[in-house]
Amino acid sequence: MDKKLLQEVKDHVKVTWDEEETNRKLERIINDAIATLDWKLGAKVDYSEGQEHNLFLNYCMYAYNNCTNEFDNNYFNEIMQLRQKYEVINYAQEEQL
């Protein structure tokens, strides 16, 4: 697990303690967030910076607070913008082949 990413998620959800159980929960959330957002965006995505990073942190916050059912409605525009970005990137890569 990327320790920097774990720390960024902890900062985002306001976890200031270092406890093994909490860290395991956040690591599961991070892994689930990556898989879920990759599926929603239709691509394998680097979540280390930019709009992708913000969306990732917010998804983790929703998951930490057990309200992922509200995420899609609240972040629909961001999801669609990024999905379109990756559709264009994928199309351009296919055209080069």
pLDDT at 65 (0 to 100): 97
User: pTM (2 decimals)?
Assistant: 0.92
Mean pLDDT of the chain: 95
Low-confidence ranges of the chain (pLDDT < 50): none
The span from the CA of 33 to the CA of 60, in Å, is 6
> Which residues are CB-contacts of 75 (< 8 A; sequence separation ≥ 6)?
55, 58, 59
